[in-house]
């Protein structure tokens, strides 16, 4: 079966500090990978998606970046966090060798920037 991991589960960071969130998928190969942010009481905002190693599409210009160093690993980063970066960060996957079209979310990372 397929499993998606995200860590850390919660994070409190000061403004201006760096950020690195990691997501890994098990049980499938060559998945599409996604990063979303959900601000308190708001909808899901797609930040980045990747259809393969080293291929990143950015949906929203901001101080965040993403990388995909391995087939099933997706990393979200920032050099300097802003207060507005607070939110619930969700990694998701779809496609690959198992799923055709369904998209599955990881457990999420709740980030608070103070």
Partner 1 sequence: QKEVEQNSGPLSVPEGAIASLNCTYSDRGSQSFFWYRQYSGKSPELIMFIYSNGDKEDGRFTAQLNKASQYVSLLIRDSQPSDSATYLCASRRGNTPLVFGKGTRLSVIA
Contact pattern for partner 1 over residues 30 through 59, marking x by CB under 8 A: --x-x-------xxx-x--x-x-------x
CA distance 11 to 13: 6
Closer CB to partner 1, 14 or 43, in the complex: 43
**Nearest CB to partner 1, comparing residues 27 and 95:** 95
Site for partner 1 contains 101 (CB under 8 A):
yes
What residues are paired with 111 via a beta bridge?
11, 87
CA distance 100 to 102: 6
93 binds partner 1 per the rule CB under 8 A: no
With a CB cutoff of 8 Å and minimum separation 6, the contacts of 28 are 2, 72, 93, 96, 97, 98, 99
Locate 18 and state its tokens: 């760096």
- Under the rule (CB under 8 A), what is the footprint of partner 1? 32, 34, 42-44, 46, 49, 51, 59, 88, 90, 95, 101-108, 110
């Amino acid at each position: 079966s397929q499993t998606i991991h995200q860590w850390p589960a919660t994070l409190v960071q000061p403004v201006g500090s760096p950020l690195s969130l990691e997501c890994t998928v098990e049980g499938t190969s060559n998945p599409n990978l996604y990063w979303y942010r959900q601000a308190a009481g708001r909808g899901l905002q797609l930040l980045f998606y990747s259809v393969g190693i080293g291929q990143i599409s950015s949906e929203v210009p901001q101080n965040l970046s993403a990388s995909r160093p391995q087939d099933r690993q997706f990393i979200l980063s920032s050099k300097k966090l802003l207060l507005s970066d607070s939110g619930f960060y969700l990694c998701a996957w779809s496609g690959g060798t198992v799923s055709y079209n369904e998209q599955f979310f990881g457990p999420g990372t709740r980030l608070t920037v103070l």
